[in-house]
Amino acid sequence: MNKRTRTHSNPLANLQEIHFEGFGNDNPIFVDVGAFKGEFMEKLAEKFPNHNFICFEIRTPIAEALKEKFKDKPNFRVFEGDAARNFKNILEPCLNEGASIEQIFVNFPDPWFKDRHKKRRFITTKFCNDLAQWFPAKTEIVFQTDQQFLFEETLEYLKETPYKGINQFEGSVHGIPTDWETAKLAKGEKIWRMKFTR
């Protein structure tokens, strides 16, 4: 398509609701929001072969590639669509099966840095307050970004939520850098990282 006529579509306009019955077992679960090429989850699965893995990816071609990549792995599921919109539909059945959700990774979400894009951000006060109504308190949410303002703003958002157990940390989670992290570190850029629970 000609650059001049290219339009930027909003992937969050995809209002599709997706459903999941659960893995059929109660193995602990890792969740990746915006899994991209899935390399972080793939390496995590080498370290934790008995866990289950849920990848959310909003962009169709990336989600299709992820589905192909993990199609022979019974402990992986890839869901195409907005993770925020589908979080409860997908994760509640797993909790009902007795599975623990060990960590949720929000690694380098699209920054949505313009003010008019604020509502597209994944971790917001509203999202966390809604989550606190049904989600286990002990599940850790890991947030990493190369955008300092987004990190600081997220700390502000959390002040208005029950998520008070906030730890800032250094170094790759489980010793595994994500694709985005590798690219940012190669350019010498700084990364801001936090884990939080209720």
Ligand X SMILES: C[S@@+](CC[C@H](N)C(=O)[O-])C[C@H]1O[C@@H](n2cnc3c(N)ncnc32)[C@H](O)[C@@H]1O
Q: Which residues have a catalytic role annotated?
A: 110
Q: Which two tokens stand for residue 19?
A: 């459903």
CB of 94 to ligand X, least distance (A): 17
Minimum CB distance to ligand X smaller for 25 or for 64: 64
Q: By C-alpha distance, which of 66, 64, 10 is closest to 179?
A: 66
Positions that interact with ligand X (CB under 6 A): 33-34, 36, 56-59, 62, 82-84, 107-110, 122, 178-181
Nearest residue to ligand X, by Cβ distance, number only: 34
**42/19 Cα distance (integer angstroms):** 23
Minimum CB distance to ligand X smaller for 83 or for 95: 83
CB of 107 to ligand X, least distance (A): 4
Minimum CB distance to ligand X smaller for 95 or for 104: 104
Q: Which two tokens stand for residue 142?
A: 């890991």
Q: Which two tokens stand for residue 150?
A: 């987004």
CB of 83 to ligand X, least distance (A): 4
Q: Which two tokens stand for residue 127?
A: 């999202």
SS3 135: coil
Rg (CA), the chain: 17
